[in-house]
């Protein structure tokens, strides 16, 4: 793997199926890549899809203004909504090391009555868009665990189980996690996966 974690520490590698692995690592998702052609990072965006703070801000800064330009061309499904909560859209990565960005929108924990389903859908639809675009390597952040306020433990359960269920046909699924506490929770949850 070409990506090196910015904060050091060991990566956890787990088998999801015969053909897919899961890697839990620390670092900045805007710097992640594997092969620069069949790899994608997932952007925890908002429904407007024109940038924001957190990981979204870091991804747009690293990609350059062409990313915002490409996002602005994604058709609105209703005024100011290019990607409804739980759905996913794909663009090129422009100046990012990874070749593609899959934009998804997680639920705002406190105000979304359907937050479990919507968080699951954000992971599931990102993987679906990845497969439709022949992505072999995909990196997720902890969707909704920043500005959107999802409790880490609950989010980890949904993230790992959904990836386990829908990662087939993708060689490697990464979680690139910025915070030590979230990294440790994700690692513990992944250790519960059955291994051959």
Catalytic positions, please? 56
Binding residue for ligand AR6 (CB under 6 A) from 24, 30, 156, 185? 30
Judged by beta carbon, residue 9 or residue 15, the one nearer ligand AR6 is 9
Shortest distance in whole angstroms from residue 52 CB to ligand AR6: 2
Task: Measure CA 170 to chain center.
Answer: 14
Q: 3-state DSSP call for residue 29?
A: helix
Residue 176 near ligand AR6 by CB under 6 A: yes
In 3D, which of 123, 97, 121 has the Cα closest to residue 40? 97
Mapped onto helix, strand or coil, the DSSP state of residue 137 is strand
Q: Is 158 in the site for ligand AR6 (CB under 6 A)?
A: no
CB 174 within 8 A of CB 42: no
- The pairs formed by 180-183 with CB atoms below 8 angstroms and a separation of 24 or more are 180/7, 180/26, 181/152, 182/142, 182/145, 182/152, 182/156, 183/9, 183/24, 183/25, 183/26
Single residue of 127, 145, 160, 173 touching ligand AR6 by CB under 6 A: 145
How far apart are CB 48 and ligand AR6 at their closest, in Å? 8
Binding segment for ligand AR6 among 14-22, 51-59, 72-80, 188-196 (CB under 6 A)?
51-59
Q: Looking at the chain, how many residues does it have?
A: 196
Task: Please report how close the Cβ of residue 194 comes to ligand AR6 at its closest, in angstroms.
Answer: 26
Does residue 99 bind ligand AR6 (CB under 6 A)? no
Query: What is residue 151's three-state secondary structure?
Result: coil
Nearer to ligand AR6, 92 or 149 (CB): 149
Positions that interact with ligand AR6 (CB under 6 A): 28-30, 44-46, 52-56, 58, 106, 141-148, 176, 178-179, 182
């Amino acid at each position: 793997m070409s990506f090196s974690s910015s904060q050091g520490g060991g990566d956890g590698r787990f088998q999801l199926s015969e053909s897919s692995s899961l890697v839990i690592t620390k670092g900045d998702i805007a710097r992640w890549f594997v092969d620069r052609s069949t790899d994608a990072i997932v952007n925890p965006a908002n429904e407007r899809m024109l940038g924001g703070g957190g990981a979204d801000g870091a991804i747009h800064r690293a990609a350059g203004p062409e990313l915002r330009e490409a996002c602005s061309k994604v058709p609105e499904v209703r005024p100011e909504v290019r990607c409804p909560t739980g759905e996913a859209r794909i663009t090129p990565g422009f100046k990012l090391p990874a070749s593609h960005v899959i934009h998804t929108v997680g639920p705002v924990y406190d105000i979304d009555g359907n937050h479990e389903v919507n968080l699951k859908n954000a992971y599931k639809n990102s993987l679906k868009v990845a497969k439709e675009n022949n992505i072999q390597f995909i990196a997720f952040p902890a969707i909704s665990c920043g500005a959107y306020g999802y409790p880490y433990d609950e989010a980890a359960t949904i993230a790992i189980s959904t990836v386990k269920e829908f990662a087939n046909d993708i060689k490697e699924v990464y979680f690139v996690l910025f915070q030590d506490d979230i990294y440790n929770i994700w690692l513990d949850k992944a250790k519960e996966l059955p291994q051959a």
